[in-house]
Structure 1
Amino acid sequence: MTLAVLMLATPAQAAPRPAPRDAQVWAAAQAARAAQLDLIKAAVNIDSGTGDVEGGRKVAGLLVPRLQALGMTVETIPAEAPGLADNVVATLQGAGKGRILLIGHLDTVFEPGTAARRPFRIDGDKAYGPGVSDEKGGVVQAIYALQILHDLKFRDFGTITFLMESSEERGSPGTRRLIDRLVRAHDVELNLEPGDAPDAITVWRKGSATYQIAVKGRAAHAGVAPQDGRNAAVELIHQLAAIEQFPRSGPGLTANLTILKAGSRDNIIPEDAMGRVNVRVRDKADFDRVEAALQAAAATTVVPDATVAVTRESAYPPLPDNPQTQALAARAQAIYARLGRTLATGGNGGASESALAAEAGTPALDGLGPVGGGFHAEREFLDLATVTPRLYLLTRMMMSLGADPPAR
């Protein structure tokens, strides 16, 4: 009898229950939903493709007053390269020790007029529109996470800095020095790129670079004297055979032709041709391997007198799956478990600023925005079922890291 009572009173074999969710933060996240979706809609319905300076200014104009209303100090910082919209840095001082950097981007890959042609819409459990998840949904999520901290009078952090940059889709050419300065001045970087389906954060990413193959030939009349021409397009086709040795898809190195240009008129042998090859890698050494193959091909031409030049434009290094990132992911998973939800971890070929943070030695966690998919295409969507849980996650992550930042 006594033994039975002791066994019932000591559930040592039962699985431990996760700590209860933060009721105040959860209630605030739920209450924010309608306004959050309205702001995402307003941001998505403004075109802001990379290089659309006026569009970038309009989106920033929509969001900056909300940050200022939270008591944040907001700076508008000119882009570091011509033809790009300004960057925005908003800073909030607390009373604790953790220095947290949030990074999101306002630019999209879409051309002017896209928002008017297919504006924000909700269909079932998904929202659609240009940049809805990549990454205006994440940027707006950060604003509402900051709003919740403000409303709850939470100040147990040293500094929260929010960078809204304008050129991530081109590898951040307008923000590289600014990012480098900011990541070195903070204890941790949280990135607002979308989560992956069904509900994952990002612990690794491929690095990215683009190789341009430029061919110079000789123009000639295509009917009267084609023999006098040197067809740059034909030579470019020969050069592009060099990338066939590399995979087009898969978990490692990939190389894909993305832009091809040649010729100007039907009756002229093309004098110039150009191809751009986008390369993604897990191992930085693979960048050099691709370049060596392209340079070797450039040394031999099939069109007499044609010349070939290969140049490389690096965007981001790989984001490695490292112990610092895994520790942050474990913290995020524990927070999410309090909602009764499972947070997976994974990676993909989409590069981001978190790689720059990790390379500088700053712990980084990516994919903290709402879950999305169909990126860089008309089918891009945001999973509405993840909007409120992901807002809770980001808010609680900032609270946790503000009080207990990771060691660098």
Structure 2
Amino acid sequence: MGRVSTATDAQPAIAFPPTPAEVFSAANDLDQRFRDDLAAIVGIDSGSDEPDGVARLADWTAEALREDGFDVETIPTPDRAGRRYGPVVVGRRRGSGSARIVLFAHLDTVFPAGTAADRPFRIEGGIATGPGVCDDGAGVAAALAASRVLASLRYSGFGELVIAFTPDEEVGSPVSRELLAEILEGADAALCLECARENGDLVGARKGVADVLVTVRGRAAHSGVEPERGVNAAVEAARLVLDLQALSDSVDGLTVNVGRLESGTRANIVPETAQLHLEVRSVGLTELIAALEAIDERSRHPFVDGAFIAVERLDVCPPLERDATDALAALARKVGDGLALDFEFAATGGASDANFVAALGVPTLDGLGPVGGGDHGPDEWLDLTTAPERTALLAGLIVAIAEGGPIR
């Protein structure tokens, strides 16, 4: 792996801020390295359910960070419900300033082992394709690229630059969430490297998501001989579906989706149990909590006499709200103007690790990777022509934060 000049090389690091033109020029000079890194990343199967593959990619990123002058820690993650996950990789570089800035991206994809060989990394007409090329291979490569831009310019005006790579974002970050919170403790800004939207927008808001399991318990009986002795859990579940779906759009931005419903064992038995697996999404935390409380309240009033309803919140991911991103968004806009980049700040229904990070009270901005799309599908793509400008935007934003940009 080629070496990029860092603060540890012959020339000492300097703290004065580079100009936008200097940042873009450095990003452009390092673009082939970005492409080489992206090809290596996409070439490693790293599905969330493939911990050995994630570990291989973690080893690759750890070595890349070490070569770039970072102090690197690879943190094993615990098994959860009998399931293994890959490690968290953390790189730290000290500077001469005071701001502690954390960049984070995820190593895992949604694709099974063998996909990298079946659908290998390709470039055609400036568009890169391959499993995870956008979500989140380009984000991982962008973190490395932006840090190299700053190193090549010998800029060290930050207090500490931290890069964190996690192994389980695609399954809700069950084992890395607490570790990421520890890494973010005392941070002045958090930059999430999910890729920019297809139109180039950054992400300024994401819905919160609650994963809820509702279990209905009735009483089994012979449906022909003595149905009156039964308590039909399926009937209660059917009413629940209608009542819970009615919560959707009861306030702006709130959606409820009963995605799975199952009940009973045989047609000649009054169903004893039923289950509903549903998802609640909301733009605001207040509305999300209110919807969950409404579900709890409905569970206390079954429609079918004798039925019992239990509600289990399997996971609750808070929303990424505008007040957590507005200050950094304004600073990113200023940096973008200096680079002649035009973008807005999108709101999306999908969640990311930025949701959890913003809930810690750390100023957060998302969508800072290059432009891409088709996430999770066979046609996932990345516009490589946007990589130098988006790397420059990310590096320039780090400089702006380090130089005292107002973000709180």
Tell me: CA distance 1:395–1:374, structure 2 relative to 1, closer, same or farther (3 Å): same
Tell me: CA distance 1:292–1:357, structure 2 relative to 1, closer, same or farther (3 Å): closer
Q: Is the 8 A contact 2:62 2:74 kept in 1?
A: no
**Correspondence for 2:29:** 31
**Correspondence for 2:73:** 75
Q: Is the 8 A contact 1:258 1:277 kept in 2?
A: yes
Tell me: CA distance 1:49–1:269, structure 2 relative to 1, closer, same or farther (3 Å): farther
Count, aligned residues: 388
Confirm or deny that 1:165 pairs with 2:166. yes
Specify the SS of the correspondent of 1:189. Answer: strand
Paired with 1:307 and 1:113, the residues of 2 have a C-alpha distance of 45
Paired with 2:271 and 2:37, the residues of 1 have a C-alpha distance of 49
Confirm or deny that 1:288 pairs with 2:289. yes
Paired with 1:151 and 1:225, the residues of 2 have a C-alpha distance of 81
**Which is further off, 104-113 or 261-270?**
261-270
Q: Is the 8 A contact 2:145 2:391 kept in 1?
A: yes
Query: How well do the aligned residues superpose, as a CA RMSD in angstroms?
Result: 3.3
CA displacement, residues 337-382 of structure 1 (integer Å, 9 cap, x when unaligned): 2332212122212223333333333221111111222333334332
**Correspondence for 1:388:** 388
**Correspondence for 2:185:** 184
Paired with 1:338 and 1:61, the residues of 2 have a C-alpha distance of 36
Q: How does 1:76-155 map to 2 (within 5 A)?
A: 76-79=74-77, 82=80, 83=83, 84-155=85-156
**Which is further off, 255-264 or 205-214?**
255-264
Tell me: CA distance 1:304–1:101, structure 2 relative to 1, closer, same or farther (3 Å): same
**Correspondence for 1:53:** 51
**Correspondence for 1:200:** 201
**Which is further off, 334-343 or 364-373?**
334-343
State the identity %: 38
**Correspondence for 1:65:** 63
Tell me: CA distance 1:291–1:76, structure 2 relative to 1, closer, same or farther (3 Å): same
Paired with 2:264 and 2:234, the residues of 1 have a C-alpha distance of 7
CA displacement, residues 139-177 of structure 1 (integer Å, 9 cap, x when unaligned): 111111112222332222110111111222333221232
**Correspondence for 1:13:** none
Paired with 1:221 and 1:359, the residues of 2 have a C-alpha distance of 51
1:110 maps to amino acid: F
Specify the SS of the correspondent of 2:322. Answer: coil
Q: Is the 8 A contact 1:208 1:280 kept in 2?
A: yes
**Correspondence for 1:343:** 343
TM-score, length of structure 2 as denominator length: 0.82
Specify the SS of the correspondent of 2:213. Answer: strand
Paired with 1:112 and 1:263, the residues of 2 have a C-alpha distance of 36
Q: Is the 8 A contact 1:248 1:256 kept in 2?
A: no
Tell me: CA distance 1:274–1:48, structure 2 relative to 1, closer, same or farther (3 Å): farther
Paired with 1:114 and 1:228, the residues of 2 have a C-alpha distance of 53
- Cα offset, 1:121, TM superposition: 3.3
Paired with 2:376 and 2:262, the residues of 1 have a C-alpha distance of 21
Paired with 1:229 and 1:379, the residues of 2 have a C-alpha distance of 51
What residue ranges of structure 1 are gaps of 5+ in the alignment?
1-19
Paired with 1:121 and 1:217, the residues of 2 have a C-alpha distance of 55
